[in-house]
Amino acid sequence: MKTASKKNILFNASVIVAALGYFVDIYDLVLFSIVRIPSLRDLGVTSQEALLEDGVMLLNMQMLGMLIGGVAWGVLGDKRGRLSVLFGSIFLYSVANILNGFVTSIPMYAVLRFVAGLGLAGELGAGITLVSEVLPKEKRGYGTMIVATIGISGAILAGFVGEYFGWRTAYFIGGGLGMLLLFLRIGVYESGMFENVKSTAHVTRGNFLSLFSNAKRFWKYLKCILVGVPIWYVVGILITFSPEFGIVLGIEQTVSAARAVSSCYLGLVVGDFLSGYLSQRFKSRRIIVLVFLVLTAGLVTLYLLSSGLSLNHFYVLCVGLGVASGYWAVFVTIAAEQFGTNIRATVTTTVPNFVRGAVVPLSLSFEALKDSWGLIPTAMVLGAITLAIAVVSILTLEETYAKDLDYLEPVT
């Protein structure tokens, strides 16, 4: 009876919808990278230089949408409710996905990637906030583990659909999956913590600027962001530029960026499950994140110092990098647990989007330094900096396992 009760608690409607919403979210996030070249070629872009330039521009438009959307959805989640953001974001990125299948020009593509980015920015933060607030405090780590593990696996479906179906069909499938999710709204209830705060007079909710008006609160918020940056250093630098690293490392066959991404995300699925599960078993978020940061440092070193590997061994190494850096579930849970109910959605939605946005300065630094320093030394320096800062950040954040989240942040 006790096991059945636990399963009923974990697999309630809120957890299922948040997990499936994040699954489609990740599907769309990764899909563009997979179908970028075939879609641009169909739109008349032929030269290699133009494919790169237009691809970067479209990715930047998506990222701009995510950064703006992260703040907007976060504030809305604290002012209007977690459910309004959860389903609003799913609706927006699903519509954008479907419309992406009809694009006929680069400007139209750019607008729709921006809109998609706006939608993609809200789902994870709203889902994690809702799950964290509706589950018992001793079990919420399992809930966020389920959300992240199922969600990250959306990248695997995106790789399959993007490879074996046309790019327009791939967008239609993503949009259709999102629309189907909206029918699951029945049985999903708003967070009781939020409803209590909403009914309390004179409580300031969703004040994004309050995160910068208090030094202690600001540093805590910044540390939450910095803890997650190594994840996107791995994905955004080591995996994205894996074909270039493959050449420098002496791999005889050409490294496929698509296969490297798929391999890494397979590892991330495993890593997210393990980190979430272990944080519950050992009753500590901080210790598990620290362990995974040490593992990441080891795998990054192995990756950058390996030479003459076979292609298959290189892809196995990409899986290992994904496992080691797969603490996304615990990282987002930590952000949700650090702040009061009146700004929790704002924090939990903006933090992962700012971590994703950190790829921009990381990639710009990488591009600026790699010609003079060399590919491997540049990657080593960037990795050492991001990992060292993440270690200091997690060591100086409070332990939040089983923390009571029913409290308010003193903001005006």
The dihedrals phi and psi of 407, each to the nearest 5 degrees, come to -150, 165
Average pLDDT over residues 295-323: 94
Greatest mean pLDDT range, 205-209, 296-300, 335-339: 296-300
Q: By three-state DSSP, how is residue 387 classified? A: helix
- Whether 86 and 21 have beta carbons less than 8 Å apart is answered as yes
Q: By three-state DSSP, how is residue 283 classified? A: coil
Average pLDDT over residues 174-196: 81
What's the Cα-to-Cα distance from 400 to each of 221, 234, 282, 295, 387, rounded to whole Å?
Answer: 14, 26, 13, 22, 21
HSE, CB side, 13 Å, CA atoms: give it for residue 99.
Answer: 16
pLDDT band, very low/low/confident/very high, at 368 (cuts 50, 70, 90): confident
Tokens 């583990």 label which residue? 145
- Identify the CATH number of the domain defined by range 1-181: 1.20.1250.20
**What pTM was computed for the model?**
0.89
- Asked which of 278-292, 314-328, 350-364 is least confident by mean pLDDT, the reply is 350-364
pLDDT for residue 325: 95
pLDDT tens-place string over residues 220-264: 999 999 999 999 999 888 988 888 889 899 998 888 877 888 899
pLDDT band, very low/low/confident/very high, at 360 (cuts 50, 70, 90): confident
pLDDT for residue 195: 84
The contacts of residue 281 (CB under 8 Å, 6+ apart) are: none
pLDDT tens-place string over residues 91-127: 999 999 999 999 999 999 999 999 999 999 988 888 8
pLDDT for residue 95: 93
pLDDT tens-place string over residues 1-26: 344 444 556 667 788 888 988 998 88
The contacts of residue 119 (CB under 8 Å, 6+ apart) are: 65, 69, 89, 90, 91, 92, 93, 94, 95, 96
Q: What is the mean pLDDT of the chain?
A: 88
Which of the 8 DSSP states describes residue 341?
A: T
- Whether 276 and 330 have beta carbons less than 8 Å apart is answered as yes
- The residue among 328, 325, 323, 324 whose CA lies nearest residue 266 is 323
Domain with CATH 1.20.1250.20 in the chain: 1-181, 206-412
Q: What angle do CA 166, 169, 170 make, to 5 degrees?
A: 85
pLDDT for residue 346: 93
Annotate 194-238 with DSSP letters as a single string.
HHHHHTSTT-----TTHHHHSHHHHHHHHHHHHHHHHHHHIIIII
Average pLDDT over residues 121-141: 88
pLDDT band, very low/low/confident/very high, at 412 (cuts 50, 70, 90): low
Residue 176 has pLDDT above 80, yes or no: yes
pLDDT for residue 3: 41
Q: CATH second-level architecture of 206-412? A: Up-down Bundle (1.20)
- Whether 304 and 379 have beta carbons less than 8 Å apart is answered as yes
Helices (H) and strands (E) counted in the chain, each on its own, are 19, 0
Greatest mean pLDDT range, 129-138, 184-193, 217-226: 217-226
